[in-house]
Amino acid sequence: MTGRRRSPGSPEDAPARARLLAGFAGQVRDALGHIGDPAYLETHPLTTFLPEDPRGRKAVRGRTLRQALLEAVTSLHPGAGAVNQAPHSRLIQLRYVDGLSAREVYGRLAISRTEYYREHQRAIEAVASILRGRWEIETSPSDSPDRARAGADLPRPSHNLPIQLTSFIGRERELVEVKALLASSRLLTLTGAGGCGKTRLALQVAADLLDRFADGVWVVDLAAQVDQALVPESVATTLGLREEPGRPVTAMLVEYLHPRQALLVLDNCEHLLRACGDLADSLLRGCPGLRILANSREALGVAGEVSWRVPSLATPRPSERLSLDEMARYEAIRLFVDRARAIRPDFALTDLNAPAIAQICWRLDGMPLAIELAAARTNILAPEQIAARLDDRFRLLTGGARTALPRQQTLRAAIDWSYEPLTDSERKTFRRLSVFSGGCDLDATEAVCQGDGIECQDVLDQLSALSDKSLILVTEGPTGARYRLLETIRQYARDRLIESGEAEVARNRHLEWFASLAHRAAP
């Protein structure tokens, strides 16, 4: 490796460095989230997890994540025998190099589960700091003016907002609205289907509000937390608090946050609704200067909560005749072009490809995740070819950034995350709803969705649950409420319906319903 070691940064560099380290820590955490796939650590180069800066990538070129973790173990405790190593260093070795399960590791280290999670956080920070060291060797202050400037812009480092590696697009109206709601309510939950942009919007709001919260803005990512009981610990770890023996963590959090003006962003609460709701309730009652912005596919369901559905990105109707300039103002189009340009710098919106790009964005319902996955395909396909393959979108849209959460790497995984926790009856109703292509009213839904364990009168409850979980959209029409699935979600439900072997029955019920309607309407 070439390059000079960077001299200790000047004081005004400190926020930039803190931000860089926070960014690495986030990426290491995400990378470790892939541990379910044994081949992953072996085969993925470290560059996958680093900001897309050519100098930074050069610093770690040729190393896999596994090698970096091994290096982390040795550089944390060079030459020390296993027995003398700090628990977090042994944790890295046992969990990520030797491949033991989390349970086996805390047994082997003779520590409690709570201590395990604390050590795990330390391990992440240690690996991140080693990566940062590597980065610094390759980059000198003089050759990274942009980064120094980005750091200087930061009001202060009392936050842990992750560095965003891609541009934030549009959402001007939503930002104003969310900030206004957060000013008037202390618990605001952004809801919406997987990949609709909840996290990204919340992080942007949080970044814009740094000045408003004198004691900091803290993001707690709960995606990897599976234990409801450990939600308070996750918050404490983020705030850098140490657990006190015999004292409930929630009480400790209340005491710490009571005198503070702070914003807590609880990201990915949908699988931990009860714990997040209970914690939010206790914190808001005990801490007058605290506000909570939660992201969840389903609202937490506690008193005082305001929930707000994140809308799709603005998308032109494919039938609209628009100039290129008008087209380029739509958020969905901008997102597609921006992400395509990251792959092919010469990519541009042209008269030739604009209709196909508009069609892609429209058929993907303006869903940011799906649009990003579609744009990733411009590495080998023209927009016209991508548009032509959208009927098979789950096979086409699989090439997410490897730095993304596992559930955001493919379109199917994004919806699996919502489908898998459903009850059997909710799944059945959801699958059967896919036979309606343009939405349906309650009578039609009851006629088609009942049967095989679902009574007619249960259908309403199922619809309500599916709507709460952001899987169906409810709109008001002239004849009452209508229920609709976004096209991507409908195709997913249809695939599941076919897999379940119930497609023919559901389609026949659908036909019978419309035949009987026609019969009744006949003079």
Where does this chain bind ligand ATP (CB under 6 A)? Answer: 166, 168-171, 192, 194-200, 268, 295, 297, 335, 368-369, 372, 407-408, 414
Pick 328 or 505: Cβ nearer ligand ATP: 328
| Dist. CA 342–CA 44, nearest whole Å | 20
Q: Which of 199, 359, 403, 450 binds Mg ion (CB under 5 A)?
A: 199
| Dist. CA 408–CA 205, nearest whole Å | 21
SS percent in the chain: helix, strand, coil, step 5: 60, 10, 35
* Cβ 165 to ligand ATP shortest distance, Å: 9
Could you say which of Mg ion, ligand ATP, none residue 375 binds, taking C-beta under 5 to 8 angstroms by partner kind?
Answer: none
* Cβ 199 to Mg ion shortest distance, Å: 3
CA separation (Å) from 253 to 98, 243, 475?
A: 35, 10, 40
Pick 295 or 307: Cβ nearer ligand ATP: 295
Could you say which of ligand ATP, Mg ion, none residue 65 binds, taking C-beta under 5 to 8 angstroms by partner kind?
Answer: none
| Dist. CA 434–CA 516, nearest whole Å | 20
* Cβ 67 to ligand ATP shortest distance, Å: 27
- Judge contact between 41 and 35, C-beta under 8 A: yes
| Dist. CA 102–CA 91, nearest whole Å | 9
Name the nearest CA neighbour of 17 among 199, 139, 200, 168.
139
**Amino acid sitting at position 115:** E
- Name the segment binding Mg ion (CB under 5 A); options: 121-129, 191-199, 271-279, 472-480: 191-199
Could you say which of Mg ion, ligand ATP, none residue 383 binds, taking C-beta under 5 to 8 angstroms by partner kind?
Answer: none
Could you say which of Mg ion, ligand ATP, none residue 170 binds, taking C-beta under 5 to 8 angstroms by partner kind?
Answer: ligand ATP
Pick 76 or 489: Cβ nearer ligand ATP: 489
Pick 198 or 428: Cβ nearer Mg ion: 198
Structure tokens at 155: 């009001």
Neighbour-count burial for 482-496, b at 16+ CB within 10 Å, e otherwise = bbbbbbbbbbbbbbb
Could you say which of Mg ion, ligand ATP, none residue 195 binds, taking C-beta under 5 to 8 angstroms by partner kind?
Answer: ligand ATP
* Cβ 69 to Mg ion shortest distance, Å: 26
* Cβ 410 to Mg ion shortest distance, Å: 15
Pick 192 or 277: Cβ nearer ligand ATP: 192
User: Interface with Mg ion includes 237 (CB under 5 A)?
Assistant: no
Pick 65 or 169: Cβ nearer ligand ATP: 169
Reduced to 3 states (helix: H, G, I; strand: E, B; else coil), residue 14 is: helix
Pick 48 or 418: Cβ nearer Mg ion: 418
Pick 3 or 170: Cβ nearer Mg ion: 170
User: Interface with Mg ion includes 470 (CB under 5 A)?
Assistant: no
* Cβ 223 to ligand ATP shortest distance, Å: 7
- Name the segment binding Mg ion (CB under 5 A); options: 1-9, 156-164, 196-204, 248-256: 196-204
Kind of pairing between the strands at 473-477 and 440-441: unpaired
Residues 282 to 341 in contact with Mg ion, rule: CB under 5 A: none
* Cβ 360 to ligand ATP shortest distance, Å: 15
Pick 126 or 375: Cβ nearer ligand ATP: 375
* Cβ 406 to ligand ATP shortest distance, Å: 10
| Residues β-bridged to residue 516 | none
Could you say which of Mg ion, ligand ATP, none residue 210 binds, taking C-beta under 5 to 8 angstroms by partner kind?
Answer: none
User: Interface with Mg ion includes 429 (CB under 5 A)?
Assistant: no
Could you say which of Mg ion, ligand ATP, none residue 469 binds, taking C-beta under 5 to 8 angstroms by partner kind?
Answer: none
Pick 69 or 202: Cβ nearer ligand ATP: 202
| Residues β-bridged to residue 475 | 482
Structure tokens at 495: 């695939």
Q: Which residues contact 452 (CB under 8 A, 6 or more apart)?
A: 428, 502, 505
Max CA separation in the chain (angstroms): 91
- Per-residue DSSP letters for 234-287? HHHHHHTPPP-TTS-HHHHHHHHHTT--EEEEEE--GGGHHHHHHHHHHHHHH-
* Cβ 197 to ligand ATP shortest distance, Å: 3
- Sole residue written with tokens 């290129």: 324
Could you say which of ligand ATP, Mg ion, none residue 414 binds, taking C-beta under 5 to 8 angstroms by partner kind?
Answer: ligand ATP
Name the nearest CA neighbour of 19 among 131, 203, 157, 218.
157
Name the nearest CA neighbour of 479 among 450, 444, 511.
444
Residues forming contacts to Mg ion in the complex (CB under 5 A) are 199
